[in-house]
Amino acid sequence: MEPNFNQDLKQLTRSLQEVVENEREAVLALVIRSLGSAPGKVGAKMLIFPDGSIEGTVGGGVVEARVIADSLNALEDGKGPRTINYNLSELGMSCGGEMGVYLEPVLPPKRIIIFGGGHVGAAVARVMASLGCRIKVVDDRPEWANRERFPQAEEIINLPFAEAVSKYPPGPRDHVLIMTRGHEHDQLILEAVADKDAAWVGMIGSKKKAAQALQKLQDNGVPKEKILKVRCPVGLDIGAITPEEIAISIAAELILLWRSGKMRSGSQPPPVPGRNNRPEAKNEGVVKKSSEEK
């Protein structure tokens, strides 16, 4: 019996919609080239889920197993959509032929929690929203954290910082940025979130501040693997001075982490280019200005 392609397409479309609406992950595989006796014809589609389960088919057999494996790699490596060509003879398939398969990772939007409603926080919100991120802003000052200053934010929380972390702890998909109006607030938040399951934590500050802050986490018994998720000073070293430049440097570091695939695998993030080679005076000057402008 011939498959009901219209019915299969409807089911696959419903499944894809559920993935998007429920902010789950999957890869959409589409056959875009089929030569010889390849089992997957142009237009064949398949959804691949993180556990290796599938919906639909791109032809079955060894080539489909390879497509599933390559799709799982696409979820892990952070490099985005790609087209992969398969020579079926090289895969040991007697039918021969070739197939080209387009793989598109379907990923939920990144979530950013910004602690601090100052100038740098506002600039970060604008830049990260332009990258499709979902923004949450936390500041105990309504005159600083409000809809007028943060129109991009999905949520604005006006509570004392400790209370906000207690009521709304970051989860494994949350990227936390700490940039409040003072070092004491920054340290309080860092200590509160470092032991949570956040995907990543970044804090603005100088190298001296970073060393002291991380030492306090170690002294408080925070596990090493969670301390490794903390990035301070946060941002690539591009000589940033203005809030907008600092925001771009932070966005660049996050893009580097996401595209490296390290954030997905749970391993230690890669070294940030230039960070270990910064002149201390230059670094201190940049951070001091950003702190004053927060």
Element (H or E) spanning 64, and its range? Answer: helix 61-77
| pLDDT number for residue 226 | 86
**Cβ pair 194, 223 in contact under 8 A:** no
CATH classification code of 111-293: 3.40.50.720
Q: Which two tokens stand for residue 2?
A: 């011939």
From CA 136, how far away is CA 158, in angstroms rounded?
11
CB neighbours of residue 56 within 10 Å: 18
Which residue has 């979820």 as its token pair? 75
| pLDDT number for residue 5 | 61
Cα torsion angle, 140, 142, 143, 148, sign: positive
**Cβ pair 233, 202 in contact under 8 A:** no
Domain boundaries, the chain: 5-106, 111-293
Pairing mode, strands 45-48 and 54-56? antiparallel
Tens of pLDDT, residue by residue, the chain (294 residues): 445 567 788 899 999 999 999 999 999 999 999 998 888 899 999 999 999 999 999 999 999 999 999 999 999 998 999 999 999 888 887 777 899 999 999 999 999 999 999 999 999 999 999 999 999 999 999 999 999 999 999 999 999 999 999 999 999 999 999 999 999 999 999 999 988 889 999 999 888 998 999 999 999 898 888 888 899 999 999 999 999 999 999 999 999 999 887 554 344 455 555 444 333 333 333 333 334 344
